[in-house]
Amino acid sequence: MDRRYFLTTATLASALLLSPAALRASQGTTQISLVETFHRALLSSMKSAATTSVKQRFDHLAPVIADSFHAGLMIQVASGSYWRKASDAQHDRLISAFADLSVATYAAQFNGYSGQSFETIGDKPGPQKTVLIETRIVDPESDPVALTYVTRKIKGQWRIIDVLLDSGISELARKRSEYRGVLKASGVDGLIEMLKMKTASLLGN
């Protein structure tokens, strides 16, 4: 039998056995692979939690989160009109402080492993040229928790720009509400300091 025919047939047969989400991922759907790469890093961090510090998990997760999320756009949305009034130097400091807190939060909250796994359900179009990646956390001891990642292509690269929790609540909307009072009372510099203090607290500094 022609080896090329065999390989082509085998490849087609394998593709037919894949779920729609898995098939899209195998074909290089970057939105799905983006989220799944983040989930693998998070799961690895959870599995090592018994023998690592929050700071060590922070260092492990930081580069993956930097490649997965668009911290600049997220904090721009969360700070609203105050972003437009801020200087370039304040923008840089605010992005850095927000990114550090995001990583520290994941490192501190996902602090153990007891058989959990992440499942990718599928993707669908979202508003304003976004793609929604539907996933869930499966825990042997409780009901699954749905997580929907809002992704958008920015300068040719897909990035996560928001996370919708099981209840449908936007993490970005929650942060915007949380930051509003700080910005009103202390401005951008006050928010930067608040973010830094939260990060230091999570890292045990």
- pTM, to two decimals: 0.84
Residue 77 confidence (pLDDT): 96
Average pLDDT per block of 10 residues along the chain, 205 residues long = 33 34 46 96 96 97 97 97 97 98 97 95 94 95 94 95 90 96 97 98 90
Class of domain 28-203: alpha beta
Residue 166 confidence (pLDDT): 82
Measured over all CA atoms, what is the biggest interatomic distance in the chain, rounded to whole angstroms? 76
Check if the beta carbon of residue 134 is closer than 8 Å to that of residue 121: yes
Domain assignments of the chain as residue spans, ordered by start: 28-203
Residue 3 confidence (pLDDT): 35
Residue 168 confidence (pLDDT): 83
Residue 79 confidence (pLDDT): 97
Residue 12 confidence (pLDDT): 28
